[in-house]
């Protein structure tokens, strides 16, 4: 969750909202699940966003919280690799409730954003994003950890 505003208008409350609903719960859940993950040699899939990677205007607190999730995920990937726990980040651009609300609130901005997506559409959570999450959770990705995977129709290319 976040409230959009230019950087100079961001308040502590806005950062508290973004970190309190995104970053802190992610860290606490990872910590709580660690014993079971160590036993099962499990996989963590955290969710990031291109907002931080692109530095999207007005999304300061949200972008910061999502980048913090990517950072802590890389730390966990390195620290927990000895326990065979994999940690990756999935950054989707999908038709979630939040994205649909954004489309409705800012139709012109949404249309311009979609026009820049090479695949020319917003991803479907079930048919586009879920298979990637399943891959990251499966043994098919057992040699991947500490990675950020973009599921955004080709909008952002990471190296």
What is the residue-level pLDDT of the chain in tens, covering all 159 positions?
788 899 999 999 999 999 999 999 999 999 999 999 999 999 999 999 998 898 888 999 999 999 999 999 999 999 999 999 999 999 999 988 888 988 899 899 889 989 999 999 999 999 999 999 999 999 999 999 999 999 999 988 776
Q: Which residues are catalytic?
A: 62
Domain covering 7-151, topology: Rossmann fold (3.40.50)
Sign of the Cα pseudo-torsion (80, 84, 88, 94, in order): negative
pLDDT at 129: 97
The DSSP secondary structure of 71-134, one letter per residue, reads HHHHHHHHHHGGGT-EEEEEEE-B--HHHHHHHHH-HHHHHHHHHHSTT-SPBPIIIIIHHHHH
Measured distance CA(158)–CA(105) in Å, rounded: 29
pLDDT at 159: 62
DSSP β-ladder status, 86-92 and 43-47: parallel
Tokens encoding 55: 């530095």
Q: What are phi and psi of 31, to 5 degrees?
A: -60, -45
Tokens encoding 54: 């692109």
């Amino acid at each position: 969750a976040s409230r959009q505003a230019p950087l100079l208008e961001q308040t502590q409350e806005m950062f508290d909202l973004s970190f309190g609903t995104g970053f802190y719960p992610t860290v606490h859940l990872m910590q709580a699940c660690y014993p079971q993950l160590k036993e099962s040699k499990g996989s963590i899939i955290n969710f990031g966003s291109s907002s931080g990677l692109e530095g999207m205007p007005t999304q300061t607190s949200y972008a910061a919280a999502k980048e913090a999730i990517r950072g802590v995920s890389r730390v966990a990937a390195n620290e927990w690799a000895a326990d065979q726990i994999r940690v990756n980040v999935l950054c989707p651009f999908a038709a979630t409730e939040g994205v649909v609300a954004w489309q409705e609130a800012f139709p012109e901005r949404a249309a311009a954003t979609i026009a820049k997506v090479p695949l020319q559409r917003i991803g479907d959570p079930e048919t586009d994003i879920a298979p990637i999450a399943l891959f990251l959770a499966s043994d098919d990705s057992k040699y991947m950890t500490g990675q950020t995977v973009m599921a955004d129709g080709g909008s952002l290319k990471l190296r």
